[in-house]
Amino acid sequence: MSKTNRLQHLAIIMDGNGRWAKQQGKVRTEGHKMGAEVVRDITTYCAKHEMIETLTLYAFSTENWKRPKMEVAFLMKLLNNYLRNEIPTYMKLDTKFETIGDISAFSDKLKKTIAETKEITKNNKSLTQVLALNYGSRDEIIRAANRVIDAGDEMTEETLGAALDSPYTDIDLMIRTSGEQRLSNFLLWQLSYSEMFFTDTLWPDFSPAELEEIIGHYGNRERKFGGI
């Protein structure tokens, strides 16, 4: 992979759990369960990758509240259990856990689990796994702008960028599974010069092997960042 095509920050829109479940003749929640297993596999791969420093996963959007209440409740329980169960994996992989988005809407129980997971993993260094939770990019940008205004700072690219939920490096590579080819209000600021890949594979079928293949294609792309 060329020096220009560094891969420090990988972002993934994990799409297709419901369709996968339907194809399998199962209820949608089974797709979400399988999707959580894939999160572990992909995080493990990224933690061991020599270049990837940050993995941001679109887990629950601001629009996902529109789903049936039973499904939303299941997703909240699944997230809580996932974080509780994954702490040994985070520690084994030397992976730090972070979030972006407005988690104030979550239950006190879930907010406590999120805070505890962040605290336990805060000194891990091999990888930072960022879950986008109750996240929407427009909402993030509005909240960031209000932070700049409240601080009395001049509104510049630098001050606004620093006030975002995710002041990490810009996204180098963004992948969306399931065949849909849209960003769905995900990291609009950070994706300005990202390379994008769209795969027909549904998230529960996505594998480290396919990710490695996509990274290989990414390495052959010419990234110009607006230049010649």
C-alpha distances (whole Å) from 101 to each of 50, 114, 128, 137, 184 are: 28, 12, 16, 8, 14
- Of 5, 17, 41, 64, the catalytic one is 64
Q: Specify whether 15 is catalytic.
A: yes
Burial of 44: CB neighbours in 10 Å, binned 0-12, 13-18, 19+: middle
Strand arrangement of the beta sheet that strand 195-198 belongs to:
95-100, 127-135, 54-61, 9-13, 173-176, 195-198
Query: Residues of 99-117 as b/e, b for ≥16 C-beta within 10 angstroms?
Result: bbbbbeebeeebeebbeeb
Out of 15, 17, 124, 165, the active site residue is 15
Contact call for residues 132 and 100 (beta carbons, < 8 A): yes
**Residues whose CB is less than 8 angstroms from the CB of residue 155 and which lie 6 or more positions away in sequence, other chains included:** 145, 148, 149
Annotated catalytic, 134?
Answer: no
Residues known to be catalytic: 15, 64
